[in-house]
Amino acid sequence: MKICLAGEGAMGFNHIKVLRQLDDVEVVTLAGGVEEDAAAFAEEWEIPHYSLDLETCLNQPEVEAVVLATPNQVHAAQAEQALSMGKHVLVEIPMGLNLAEAERLVDMEMKTGLVCMVCHSYRYSAPHREIVRRVRTGELHLHHIVQQTYFFRRENTNMFGKPRSWTDELLWHQACHMVDFIYWLFDEPDIEAWAQAGPTHPGLGIPMDITIGMRSKTGCLVSSANSFNNHGSITSNYRFIGEEATFLIEKGKLIDHDGNEVSVGAGGLDVQDREFLDAIKNGRTPMTSCKTCLPTMAILDRLQGIIGD
């Protein structure tokens, strides 16, 4: 299968590492954002063609699908463009920066019948999947989930420290991972939810701190703290406080309350990207189709309404 990769930044790097390891997959073109970076990325990963124009890349011979690892602000429009050209789409989270964008993309997904899958990555994370399994089988009854996502992003740079041409978004991007996982865990599109945001950064134009609270129908509380002001390395973890046990997910590992690592099997970005390719090959709906994940965007829309513009 011939694939177009769009985006030469941090997530483009993560995807190309996986795609290069898969059989019967060939990344034949790169849709870049910065000429110098795109040229260097294409050379490093032996991608025979690159362009700064997505349409040109999608029109390369025999390209069937595109992986969109591009700025948040263009995800929805680029995904719609690719679907309109008959290409299957794997789009990085978020599928849009508001509910209307997400709904338009789902409409296009349904209209074309093509695979349009969004990278709601926690659904492919082995530790997170194990927590879901335990909750759904009745092995774990949760009282409280405490989640933290911390970055230091007072300057507009990516995870490699390189300047960005776009600004990241704390609610619709970073917190989207948590909101989607909680929705998936409890299967409650109408879950009770509230939020508050700190001051808007004068240069970046975004709130740098957000706190989110949720409560499931079982009474489980969710406390989520998200910050772009945190000094130090990128940090994200979950604590699951249950009747039978407490678990911590940190650095890709599931740890029990005695400090022991719990064996959880395989998961991660490679499982996610394989799901996309397998859905195309077998003509089926992927686990995280845009339609499947639309309720997450509706919850974010409610939280945005509470926070305000």
C-alpha to C-alpha distance for 201 and 107, rounded to whole angstroms: 35
- Do 116 and 89 form a contact (C-beta atoms < 8 A)? yes
Query: Counting beta carbons within 10 angstroms of the beta carbon of residue 228, is it exposed (0 to 12), middle (13 to 18) or buried (19 or more)?
Result: buried
Residue among 70, 71, 87, 81 nearest 105 (CA)? 81
- Do 140 and 245 form a contact (C-beta atoms < 8 A)? yes
Identify the pLDDT of residue 75. Answer: 97
Identify the pLDDT of residue 234. Answer: 84
Identify the pLDDT of residue 203. Answer: 86
For each of the chain's 309 residues, which pLDDT tens digit applies? 999 999 999 899 999 999 999 989 999 999 999 999 999 999 999 999 999 999 999 999 999 999 999 999 999 999 999 999 999 999 999 999 999 999 999 999 999 999 999 999 999 999 999 999 999 999 999 999 999 998 887 776 766 667 767 778 899 999 999 999 999 999 999 999 999 999 999 888 889 999 999 999 999 999 999 999 989 888 899 999 999 999 999 999 999 999 999 999 888 999 999 999 999 999 999 999 999 999 999 999 999 999 987
Q: How far is CA 293 from CA 62, 100, 118, in A?
A: 29, 14, 8
Strands 2-6 and 63-68: parallel
Residue among 244, 176, 243 nearest 210 (CA)? 176
